[in-house]
Amino acid sequence: QKEVEQNSGPLSVPEGAIASLNCTYSDRGSQSFFWYRQYSGKSPELIMSIYSNGDKEDGRFTAQLNKASQYVSLLIRDSQPSDSATYLCAVILGNEKLTFGTGTRLTIIP
Amino acid sequence: GAVVSQHPSRVICKSGTSVKIECRSLDFQATTMFWYRQFPKQSLMLMATSNEGSKATYEQGVEKDKFLINHASLTLSTLTVTSAHPEDSSFYICSATRLAGATYEQYFGPGTRLTVT
């Protein structure tokens, strides 16, 4: 079982709709959870971090964490074509090293 | 957010030569820096963990004598690809961690695209 799992996609969402990205992790000791956005040919960009159960909102982005289910998600409201990218879920177990999922490729259809 | 720079952004070198890539945290002191490599359409692969003043920790399968890492200060780490070969052509990305409350947030540099001819 992979430590961090994501559906590789591609996930296609109409412009203006809500894009929902999901991630599960295997280690219950995971403490911190992150979502990165990576455009093709570019490096990852940190867009959300979450550490406690529940929701965390930042602009059009909402991260949701459920430690009991070992599940973390990212919602993007009012999706824009510029949101088209690969979204990487990452967790930290105890030190500073990130464990990444393979990423979900999101395409927003105008 | 925190800013991490990398230099150069692109480099082309001949087979057998060495290439040095610099990674700097511009507006914070990084507790740790990491070096990644990414081949086209593949995931990020962690190469090594770098701490200021100590030897880097390399991931399994990464040759420490080929990929030399020096972490001279809390804001600068360098990766030198020695005796580069075409198979070393890749996108090299560094990151730096910053303490955010009780946890760490990791910020990535813009990456260096290395082409070995």
Phi, psi of A82 (to 5 degrees): -70, -10
The amino acid occupying position B63 is: E
Residue pair A84/A55 in contact (Cβ under 8 Å)? The answer is: no
Instruction: Tell me which chain B residue has its CA closest to the CA of residue A31.
Output: B103
Of residues A31, A46, A100, nearest to B105 (C-beta):
A46
Phi, psi of A44 (to 5 degrees): -65, 150
Each residue's pLDDT, cut to its tens digit, for chain B (117 residues) gives 689 999 999 999 999 999 999 999 999 998 799 999 999 888 899 999 998 888 899 999 999 999 999 998 989 999 999 999 999 999 999 999 988 887 788 999 999 999 999
Using an 8 Å CB-CB cutoff, list residues of chain A that contact chain B: 31-32, 34, 36, 41-46, 49, 51, 88, 90, 92, 96-98, 100, 102-103
Of residues A42, A49, A100, nearest to B43 (C-beta):
A100
Of residues A34, A41, A102, nearest to B43 (C-beta):
A102
Q: What is the pLDDT of residue A42?
A: 96
In the block, which residue shows the tokens 């927003």?
Answer: A108
pLDDT, tens digit (0-9, with 9 covering 90-100), for A4-59: 999 888 999 999 999 999 999 999 888 899 999 999 999 999 999 999 999 999 99
CA-nearest of A63, A54, A68 to A20 is A63
Task: Identify the burial level of B105 via C-beta atoms within 10 angstroms of its C-beta, where 0-12 means exposed, 13-18 middle and 19 or more buried.
Answer: buried
Which of the two residues, A61 and B71, has the higher pLDDT score? Answer: A61
